[in-house]
Structure 1
């Protein structure tokens, strides 16, 4: 997750206030609430993106052997991001081990699968899990909000749309993650055509 300059400024102020509580202007409270909302949205977007990538990986695996290049790339990316290879992945890689990339990936995935099994047998879960959803930040201690009655919460804006005119919109996954570049096969492996 990357923060912009304005978001870092708000985060820095919030941390300073947490260390040295002082009364806050309403603008600072609103900035902190907007930042908390943006972080919550980024976490949920990351979960949606992970689910999409895992479904994409399953589609490529089901379309083997025709989708071998795309499947190997997706599996490499997933393993690098902490994906625990499943038995279906190991079986697919065994069938493709005639390719050097698949053979190397099979070795790596076997080591990861073995670690995962040992961890489960030891009573630990090696699977990567999403963090538990945190409670919404409703108020900060101190500031003007503590001096008066709490305001009614406003209805949240639609996802991807700015809440205020000066706030920038939520980026799309295609804007955050650059397109994947396909490796160019060596000249000896290209098909004549």
Structure 2
């Protein structure tokens, strides 16, 4: 990202105020807000450009080997912009390693991928080290219900607290077929 001379002047004033707090003129505040908005827009545009470049790279990779020259050029551009080669890139370059340019790029991508993995592992191990307790470890106490509880005799549960489990026939009584009404002759006699 490049700043114009006016933007550098605004940035320098903002940094001076951050280091040595002093009241600001309204014009300085407006200039700083405009610069912040410009920087935010440049960051958003860089994100959009990166997303477009990565999508384009994926399209070219899927069209290999027919798109070899375009893919290699896009991959070089992406690497120059700080892209870490992915497993798909390494696999595609391995398949194309008979091409001298692809073979050269494969060697470069392997180095970059290894550095990226090492950096991630270092961050993970550093995060693990900082989250580990630094003081003495607390004593652990046995809680009831563990393996030792199996060896001990179990007390009988109180009788009133236990209710028998009902049978399914008690919960859902069987359906009785409806009895057909008696014939009309029996009704009159009865």
Tell me the TM-score normalized by structure 2: 0.60
Deviation at 1:18, TM superposition (A): 2.1
Q: Does 1:80 align with 2:80?
A: yes
Residue equivalent to 2:133? none
Distance 2:68 2:7 in 1: 41
Question: What does residue 8 of structure 2 align with?
Answer: 8
3-state secondary structure, aligned to 2:82: coil
Judging changes above 3 Å, is the alpha-carbon distance between structure 1 residues 88 and 36 closer, same or farther for their aligned structure 2 residues? same
Question: Secondary structure of the residue that 2:12 maps to in structure 1?
Answer: helix
Residue 119 of structure 1, CA deviation: 3.9
TM-score of the aligned structures, taking structure 1 as reference length: 0.59
The whole-number CA distance in structure 2 between the counterparts of 1:24 and 1:4 is 22
- 1:149 corresponds in structure 2 to none
**Larger relative contact order (C-alpha < 8 A, sep ≥ 6)?**
1
In the TM superposition, residue 19 of structure 1 has moved relative to its aligned partner by 2.5
- The CA deviation at 1:72 is 0.2
What are the within-5 Å matches in structure 2 for residues 1-193 of structure 1? 1-124=1-124
- Offset of 1:122 from its aligned partner? 4.6
Cα distance, 1:92 vs structure 2: 1.0
After superposition, the Cα gap between the structure-2 partners of 1:118 and 1:13, relative to the gap in structure 1 and judged at 3 Å, is: closer
- Rounded to whole Å, the distance in 2 between the matches of 1:9 and 1:3 is 10
Measured in 2, the distance between the counterparts of 1:17 and 1:112 equals 40
Point out the more displaced range, 70-79 or 111-120.
111-120
Which has the larger helix fraction? Answer: 2
Change (3 A) 1:33 1:119: closer
Match of 1:142 in 2: none
- Which structure is larger by alpha-carbon Rg, 1 or 2? 2
Whole-Å separation in 2 of the counterparts to 1:109 and 1:102: 10
DSSP-derived class of the 1:48 partner: helix
* Total equivalences in the alignment: 125
Extract unaligned runs of 5+ from structure 1: 126-193
